Amino acid sequence: CATGINMQAAHWLAPRMTRQCGNDFQEELVIRPLHSGDIYASFQFRTVWETDFMRGNKVSHYRLFPKSLGQVISKFSVRELHISFTQGYWRTMQWGQPFQPSPPGAELWVWFQDSVTDVDGTWKELTNVLSGIFCASLNFIDSTNTVQPSASFKPLGIGNETDHRFLRYATLPREIVCTENLTPWKKLLPCGSKAGLAVLLKSEKLFHSSFHSQAVHIRPVCQDWQCKTTSWELRQTLNVVFDLHNSAQGKREWSLFKMFSRTLTEACPLASSSKIYIDITDNPQGEQFEVSPATPLLSQAVVLGDRRTFSVYDLTQQITFGTVRSLNLLIRWKSSEGDMLRPLLHAERYVAGYGLQTGEIHTLMYNNHPYRSFPVLLLDSVPWYLRLYIHTLTVTSKGKDNKPSYIHYQPSKDRLRPHLLEMLVQLPPNSVTEVTVQFERALLKWTEYTPDPNHGFYVGSSVISSLVPSIVAMDTNSTRERPLFSSFFPCKEESSYFVRVYTEPLLVNLPTPDFSMPYNVICLTCTVVAVGYGSLYNLLTRSFQIEEPSPGLAKRIANIIRKMRGVPPL
Amino acid sequence: IYLFTYFFFLLLYIAFMLFIVFDNAGQFFSSGHTNNWAVLVCTSRFWFNYRHVANTLSVYRSVKRLGIPDSHIVLMLADDMACNHRNPKPATVFSHKNMELNVYGDDVEVDYRGYEVTVENFLRVLTGRLPPSTPRSKRLLSDDRSNILIYLTGHGGNGFLKFQDSEEISNVELADAFEQMWQKRRYNELLFIIDTCQGASMYERFYSPNLMALASSQVGEDSLSHQPDLAIGVHLMDRYTFYLLEFLEDIHPASKTNMNDLFKVCPKSQCVSTPGHRTDLFLRDPGSVLITDFFGSVRKVEITMETINLTDPINPVNGELQIRKYSYVDQLPVSEIIHQKPKQKDWHPPDGFILGLWTLILLVFFKLYGMKHLKHIF
């Protein structure tokens, strides 16, 4: 491999790192202003490595691909790995669809290779190792929250067989995301957080937002258009939505400095491409907002079923940084009209009912297309302590019963595995489909409660996967050079695009005992036993004797005198 | 005479050089440790115990600043304060009011967090008896030449420390854990600092050698918190750790301050409680123990001028070229899913089998015994 590239050289003199030794790194940042005044920023970092972790040969020389993940892939025979950490809930109706959807908390789903014999054991070890890498409590993933979906979560990478025995999916809705998860995530990048777009990732600003999600996706991809050999792709994505009132003090004026408290000075020297895209589709003549510094580069991409136009800033060109050697993009609003394209698929979920014994889970799926209907696959994984009554499952659309064309239900086993419900439902056009199921809450053993049981127990988000009809023709050629954010989900047909929507997680209260009761019971019982037993013992064993009262002092002296005289006492 | 004076000065010079050499060598071997570890535990949950997390993070910050790397620090925080929804400044934990010092920082790695901070996990970390799949960052991989710093903070009482409002660790358990560590030679010297109410009761029962302990208050006294911040709404730090942090901010990796200065941190006038310490189990004199022996990781570096030849990287063997063409999998193959037959785990007899079986039995019965019994059935 070529070594000795001097990275300290002046940036306009240094040779741009093209595909060397099969390693390639690209970074991009997409900024999309939202109609509610918030702004959505999505970082994508992609490392592609032409190597083969399988086939038994030891890989010992790592360059851009992080060694910790490479060792995980080869040791646990992983075919695909997707892990995401999210804080906040993505509001589809106000913000549209995200580029990479993710549920609140932590989510991990893995496809193993065919050569793995004990998938469950490997899964357990993998979660422990990942909890060390990402500083998260992923070791709480065990058989009680792992499911094996039978139709959802098909592999996103290339492959020919899809035997669902090698798929495992788990979520931890309670998982907190903070700087300690961002720190190891940043260390996986080739440039770390020292150069390129990653310098913008400052935790104080990133976590002061409405939505923050960071994810790592590893999958095999085609090396070239012939697709005879594979290479490994590592994508690190970070999606963040900044709130108008928290971060911008209510003024509709966004800049890189306001969002991230940093400006850009250079691209990552190890990157073959480093770009910033700003979505100006709603602003064709510049009447809504203006972007400065202006750029002549424009790009069009079909993403999420819509053709969007972007202003492109290429950070590998020195001219982007101008004379001040730093780039601070400014987006200033002039008028606030216009409405957003309504997302075609949207879902909600809530718990109905009262009391601490029974309840009902309602999942609502909205199809906002005026005349097309499309199928959705709903995946529900409910913990064992909510006992679902599947005979009460109803699916209704527009008031009428809607029979799903495929149902897969795996009942739970107490303390062993959760419920798994997968259904393929056809959503009629312009309608709301409601899925309801009743449940009963279980009483846990007193050692199974968390230290703060009155907070409640979380039920993970439902996953709705669907092929939504697209307004514009999607690009099915997977090898053409496209921006990273539009090439996440593979596209097989032109008329629809794949989308995954996550509902809210639920927070249910289980009947919680009063944990001071053992102490109270012991005290009370001991008191009662002591008092009761003591009284009973006294009653049974106490004997009464007649005792004369002791005589007064005068009488005692008189008795002494009489004893001396030899006369009987008084 | 000339020769004599010359000899005399030569002898003096040699003696002087030997003295310096031996003094340096003495320093080299006097501490006897080659690596440093730190186990920093915050045992309290809930937002109003913000100060305990701030305590632990300020010691973490000092320890990192003085040289102990993240791989040698086991940090256990029982609750998340920085990204708590009640925190008006997310991703920050402050130790001084008016938000002067952010002890959380930008580069923090928490090894055990949330519900993982339990008495069992703490004792397993100390004694090293962890399940085999535990990652390295969650293990205390110390050996017999390690100096370990253990810092505990939270709510405590006479003889116990409360973990997460649901369980407690007693001083006897702690002393036994340290004895296990000694038996397995998992430490060279150990410094134990505890900042809780009645903290001195936790080190009363120690009996293993080479342990030094500090506590923020004596038995019967409460450790008090330092100052609230009106913007955040809670008390930010405990007094003892606040003055300990102030003391440690003056220490740099090459400083020669010793333990006697550490014992003087936070006298009764500042702390209201009386800090205590215990050194009878420690073999060296506390005056000769440097602060950086426990809080820092001053590594002894040997510089060499030799060249070392590295082996060539293993070249991947190119297997035979696969002729088959790969492609992406269909994300939602509707027809395939509908016709997918779910695997049946248990075998059930085909439908109607039981009915047919009963019909057969009845037929055989009536064949044998005649039809006249039929009217008894219906």
**DSSP annotation string for A24-69:** EEEEEEEEEE-TTS-EEEEEEEEEEE---S-TTPPP---SSS-HHH
Q: Taking a C-beta distance cutoff of 8 angstroms, is the pair B273, B216 a contact?
A: yes
At B28 the pLDDT is 46
According to the 3-state scheme, what is the secondary structure of B12-77? HHHHHHHHHHHHHHHHHHHCCCCEEEEEEEECCCCHHHHHHHHHHHHHHHHHHHCCCCHHHEEEEE
* Residue that has been written with the tokens 């529900």 in this structure: A380
Distance, CA of B180 to CA of A185 (rounded, Å): 36
Q: Which amino acid is at A354?
A: Y
A184, closest residue in chain B (CA to CA): B109
| Average pLDDT in chain B | 86
At A245 the pLDDT is 85
At A9 the pLDDT is 37
Residues in chain A within 8 Å Cβ distance of B105: 179
Q: Which of B42, B72, B96, B197 is catalytic?
A: B197
Give the tens place of pLDDT for each residue, A420-434: 999 999 999 999 999
Q: For residue B1, is pLDDT > 80?
A: no
Interface check for A115 against chain B (CB to CB < 8 A): the answer is no
At B319 the pLDDT is 54
Residues A128, B134: C-beta atoms closer than 8 Å:
yes
Is omega for the bond preceding A284 within 30 degrees of 0, making it cis?
no
At A12 the pLDDT is 38
Interface check for B311 against chain A (CB to CB < 8 A): the answer is no
State mean pLDDT over B8-36: 65
> What percent of chain A is modeled with pLDDT above 90?
56
ipTM of the complex: 0.85
Q: Which of A121-125, A223-227, B225-229, B362-366 has the lowest mean pLDDT?
A: A223-227
At A329 the pLDDT is 86
Q: Which amino acid is at A369?
A: H
Strands B112-113, B211-215: parallel, antiparallel or unpaired by DSSP?
Answer: unpaired
At residue B21 the predicted structure's pLDDT band, cuts being 50, 70 and 90, is low
Q: For residue B119, is pLDDT > 50?
A: yes
A181, closest residue in chain B (CA to CA): B109
Q: For residue B274, is pLDDT > 80?
A: yes
State mean pLDDT over A548-569: 86
Distance, CA of B59 to CA of A372 (rounded, Å): 61
Strands A330-333, A253-255: parallel, antiparallel or unpaired by DSSP?
Answer: antiparallel
Interface check for B313 against chain A (CB to CB < 8 A): the answer is yes
Distance from CA of A67 to the nearest CA of B (A): 15
Q: For residue A11, is pLDDT > 50?
A: no
According to the 3-state scheme, what is the secondary structure of A61-128? CCCCCCHHHHHHHHHHCEEEEEEEEEECCCCHHHHCCCCCCCCCEEEEEEEECCCCCCHHHHHHHHHH
Residues A228, B321: C-beta atoms closer than 8 Å:
yes
Interface check for B115 against chain A (CB to CB < 8 A): the answer is yes
Q: Which of A185-189, A402-406, B26-30 has the lowest mean pLDDT?
A: B26-30
CA dihedral A263, A268, A269, A274 (to 10 degrees): -100
Q: Taking a C-beta distance cutoff of 8 angstroms, is the pair A493, A474 a contact?
A: yes
Q: For residue B90, is pLDDT > 80?
A: yes
Q: Which of A27-31, A99-103, A387-391, A472-476 has the lowest mean pLDDT?
A: A472-476
Choose the closest CB to B337 out of A204, A406, A466: A406
Interface check for B340 against chain A (CB to CB < 8 A): the answer is yes
Residue B235 bears catalytic tag: no
Give the tens place of pLDDT for each residue, A456-487: 999 999 999 999 988 887 777 666 677 888 88
Residue count of chain B, please give it: 378
Helix (H, G, I), strand (E, B) or coil at B177: helix
The vertex-B92 CA angle with B86 and B96, nearest 5°, equals: 100
Distance from CA of B137 to the nearest CA of A (A): 6
Q: How far apart are the first and last CA of chain B?
A: 144
Q: For residue A415, is pLDDT > 80?
A: yes
Element (H, E) at A431: strand A431-441
State mean pLDDT over B211-237: 89
DSSP state of A370: S
A residues 464..483 contacting B (CB < 8 A):
465-467, 478
Q: Taking a C-beta distance cutoff of 8 angstroms, is the pair A213, A180 a contact?
A: no
State mean pLDDT over A54-60: 65
Residues in chain A within 8 Å Cβ distance of B92: 204
Interface check for B130 against chain A (CB to CB < 8 A): the answer is no
At B18 the pLDDT is 61
> What percent of chain B is modeled with pLDDT above 70?
86
Residue B197 bears catalytic tag: yes
State mean pLDDT over B96-114: 86
Element (H, E) at A197: none
Residues B92, A177: C-beta atoms closer than 8 Å:
no
Residues B327, A160: C-beta atoms closer than 8 Å:
yes
Cα-flanking dihedrals φ and ψ of residue A426, to 5°?
-95, 120
Distance, CA of B239 to CA of B58 (rounded, Å): 13
The reported pTM is 0.85
Residues B331, A159: C-beta atoms closer than 8 Å:
no
Q: Which of A7-16, A124-133, A208-217, A541-550 has the lowest mean pLDDT?
A: A7-16
Give the tens place of pLDDT for each residue, A492-535: 888 888 999 999 999 999 999 888 888 899 999 999 999 999 99
A residues 370..409 contacting B (CB < 8 A):
375, 377, 405-406, 408
Q: For residue A412, is pLDDT > 60?
A: yes
Distance from CA of B14 to the nearest CA of A (A): 49
Distance, CA of A236 to CA of A114 (rounded, Å): 26
Who wins on pLDDT, A551 or B260? Answer: B260
| Average pLDDT in chain A | 87
Residues in chain B within 8 Å Cβ distance of A177: 83
At residue B15 the predicted structure's pLDDT band, cuts being 50, 70 and 90, is low
B residues 192..251 contacting A (CB < 8 A):
none
A residues 206..265 contacting B (CB < 8 A):
206-208, 222, 226-230
Residues in chain A within 8 Å Cβ distance of B329: 154-156, 158-160, 162, 490
B residues 25..54 contacting A (CB < 8 A):
45-46
Q: Taking a C-beta distance cutoff of 8 angstroms, is the pair A356, A457 a contact?
A: no
Q: For residue B77, is pLDDT > 90?
A: yes
Beta-bridged to residue A92, according to DSSP, are: none
At A318 the pLDDT is 83
Residues in chain B within 8 Å Cβ distance of A230: 326
Q: Taking a C-beta distance cutoff of 8 angstroms, is the pair B183, B207 a contact?
A: no
At residue A290 the predicted structure's pLDDT band, cuts being 50, 70 and 90, is confident
Distance, CA of A120 to CA of A122 (rounded, Å): 5
